[in-house]
Amino acid sequence: MDKIDLHSALFATYAIAATLMILKAIGMSWLTVARMLQVNGGFRSPEDLKKTPINPKPEPSQLAPNERVERIRRIQLNDLENLPFFLVAGFLYVLTGPPLLLAQCLLYGYVVSRLLHFAAYFTGQIHEVRATFWSIGSFILIFMTVRVLLTAVGY
């Protein structure tokens, strides 16, 4: 179990990649709030229409979907659908004791693919651009997961 140690370059690589992905996911929540305040809309709950210092003139239209807010929510939902797989697959992959360089390429490659996916989605690029970056991350997850399975069964 000496692999699960932040002094291990292999585990530290995983910890850095995982931390970056967690911070990105948390950042999406803050980006959603910032966008809602920016457009003064895209709220979801009826209580959001109560008069407050932040919303001094509430209007029913503030509960209507706002495309700029919804785009951020869709990006966040995509993260929430993919991040748990990465956290588990990456952790288990590190336990297989892969070469450090390969692990760095895969783990950091996943992070880069997700950041590029975010940039493509945020800027409204065509589906094929988003799908390319998503696919890169997905292939990385498949590779790591299959490697874990093969190691676990003795190959």
Confidence of residue 1 (pLDDT cuts 50, 70, 90): very low
Host H or E run for residue 40: none
60 contact partners, CB below 8 Å, separation of at least 6: 49
The single-letter DSSP state of residue 45 is: S
pLDDT tens digit sequence for 8-57: 999 999 999 999 999 999 999 999 999 999 999 999 999 999 999 989 99
Q: What is the pLDDT of residue 2?
A: 58
pLDDT tens digit sequence for 48-83: 999 999 899 999 999 999 999 999 999 999 999 999
**Average pLDDT, stretch 100-107?**
98
